[in-house]
Amino acid sequence: MSRRGLLTAGAGAAAGAWLLTACGSGGNADKAAATAAATGKAAAGGTLRIARPPASSAETLDPASSLSAYEYLGALYSRLVRRGSDGKPAADLATSWEMSDEAKTWTFTLRDGVTFHNGQAFTSADAAYTLTHILDPATKSPQAGVLSTFVAASGISTPDKNTLVVKLKAAHAEFPTLLMHYNCYVIAKDSAKTTATKGIGTGPFKLASFTPAGPGKVVANTDYYGGKPVLDAIAFSSIAETQSRINALLSQQVDLISQTNLDSAGVKTVQASSTATVVEVKNAQWYTLPMLCTAAPFTDSKVRQAFKLAYDPAQVIKLAVQGHGTIAHDNPVPPDDPYRLDYTVSPDPEKAKALLKKAGHDKLTLPLYTSDYDSVLTPLALAMKDSVAHAGITLNIQNAPSDSYYTKIWMQKPLMTSYWYVGRPIDQLLSEIFHSGSAYNESKWSNPTFDGLIASARKETDDAKRKQLYQDAQKLMVDQDGTIMPFFASRMIGISKKVVNYHESGFEFDYLKIGLSA
């Protein structure tokens, strides 16, 4: 989801610092290569201190809300199913699940003996309540749009306290993947009103204190069904400025800075320190340039195709993220997703020129909008400008204010830079960002064949055939859609050298193992 960046007084200074380092980093880019997190034996106990950007004083601990405080959720709550290391749903509060009635009915068997932080036993009633809470329009959950296509409150039943049955409105063979989303953490029955501040879940940590956009703390839950965490507690503080968050890390006031993808200047600063280091979370976010298919010149599919052929991803990746990324080949399905299609179209500026000529453009000049919303967006814009020049395309970079980038630029300007965090399972990814009419369809691409492939895939209960359908959909996207997608980038995390066994996916850690060295 989006990072709710702040209007920053020092944004200009940060951009200046980036230019300086970008210009000087030609030869020694690889010196900045980040390390993996330290592993080893952690000392028992201790408090991990995390600095996070303050979202807004409207933030809440209700996992279903669009204003939820991400960093707390994984510590406090559990889901029915979580994302396994193979990208497929893995057991969490549900120990097993099966479909029947041609993928129209799903039955989840729930874990026994789990209690909420307040001592109340977890039962199927809580699971059912969580789903209806997400679907409730008053909750305004971003996940409601995805779920409500398949689930209605009337279709949810609880035959006994360990069984949840969901009768779908339309067949969906990948339904459990939709429950892996962080909006789907399980809350206790009838706690919709209090969960925003109390944060009572079944997760590895219990809430000790929480202030929206301010400090907070969670402490180890010794009754957690997965075992006892190594840490005693995690303390959060909110620091608005990126540079101040880095300063807090370097002065050892915090051990980790979250939601902060360090730019190359930041990486160098942190790596120069004797107490902190940078950990590279590979393929953590994907960077795109959506071409608005409803606006000239991108209404013409030849122009879109020309843009995809015009740039050299290897060069863009080197310039924009100093090589810390993986070429995406205009396909947003992450490299580790079992359904990813291995299909590449090589860059061909000459063919791009020819296509543009056919579309009636001898020379094409366009504004490309970007902002400081994320540290990679502007470097990406500069790298693209450079790369497409060979195909006779001139991009004029327009730097827009970051605090209104998503209201005034996104989905409104024909060509802009954008990014997403990975973590959506394939069906949600394709339907949320590429399906006709979806609220997050940032290129406004609309293709009935693509929509049809997604619909057929959901109904298909044969795994191999379903995979084939999702892959056909990916090929169609690469060839025709409105998304230039150069690369998946690493997220560069600043972390204290004292932290051991750090593993992050999304905004969740391996909460049981993460600890501080003795």
Partner 1 sequence: MSRYIARRLLLALVTIWLASLGVFLAVQALPGDVTTQILGQNATRANVAALRAELGLDESPWRRYLDWMSGMLHGDFGSSLVNHASVGAEVGLRLRNTLLLAGVTVVLGVSLALVLGVVAGLYRDRWPDLAISSLSLVGMSMPEFVIATVLVLLFSIDIPLFPAVVTAGPDARIGDLLPAIWLPSIALTVVMAAYIIRMLRTSVIDVMASEFVTTARLKGISPARVVLRHALPSALLPTLNVIAMNIAWLVGGVVVVESVFNYPGVGLLTIDAVHNRDLPVIQTIAVLGAATYVLCNLAADLAAMALNPRLRTNRRTA
Binding site for partner 1 (CB under 8 A): 1-2, 4-10, 13, 49, 51, 54, 56-58, 66-67, 137-138, 140, 142, 145, 211-215, 237-241, 243-245, 247-248, 250-254, 273, 401, 403-404, 406-408, 410, 439-440
Distances (CA, A) of 185 to 61, 94, 196, 486, 513: 11, 12, 13, 32, 21
Return the number of the residue (222 or 252) whose C-beta is nearest partner 1: 252
CA distance 87 to 334: 10
Q: How far is the CB of 110 from partner 1 (least distance, A)?
A: 30
Please report where in the chains the tokens 């309540």 appear, as a residue. Answer: 129
* Side chain identity at residue 48, one-letter code: L
Return the number of the residue (159 or 401) whose C-beta is nearest partner 1: 401
Cβ atoms of residues 122 and 186 within 8 Å: yes
User: Per-residue DSSP letters for 350-400?
Assistant: HHHHHHHHHTT-SSEEEEEEE-SSSTTHHHHHHHHHHHHGGGTEEEEEEE-
CA distance 263 to 268: 9
Please report where in the chains the tokens 């029915």 appear, as a residue. Answer: 80
Return the number of the residue (148 or 299) whose C-beta is nearest partner 1: 148
Give, rounded to a whole angstrom, the gap between the first and last alpha carbons of the chain. Answer: 35
Return the number of the residue (60 or 177) whose C-beta is nearest partner 1: 60
Please report where in the chains the tokens 């900045």 appear, as a residue. Answer: 32
67 CB burial (10 A radius; 0-12, 13-18, 19+): middle
Return the number of the residue (381 or 400) whose C-beta is nearest partner 1: 400
Tokens of 337: 């997703």
CA distance 460 to 359: 39
Return the number of the residue (13 or 44) whose C-beta is nearest partner 1: 13
Q: How far is the CB of 441 from partner 1 (least distance, A)?
A: 11
Q: How far is the CB of 43 from partner 1 (least distance, A)?
A: 21
Q: How far is the CB of 252 from partner 1 (least distance, A)?
A: 7
229 CB burial (10 A radius; 0-12, 13-18, 19+): buried
Q: How far is the CB of 472 from partner 1 (least distance, A)?
A: 28
Cβ atoms of residues 202 and 114 within 8 Å: yes
Return the number of the residue (58 or 518) whose C-beta is nearest partner 1: 58
* Side chain identity at residue 78, one-letter code: S
Q: How far is the CB of 374 from partner 1 (least distance, A)?
A: 11
Cβ atoms of residues 419 and 287 within 8 Å: yes
Please report where in the chains the tokens 């039943």 appear, as a residue. Answer: 157
Q: How far is the CB of 401 from partner 1 (least distance, A)?
A: 8
Q: How far is the CB of 253 from partner 1 (least distance, A)?
A: 6
Tokens of 488: 């998946």
Return the number of the residue (35 or 404) whose C-beta is nearest partner 1: 404
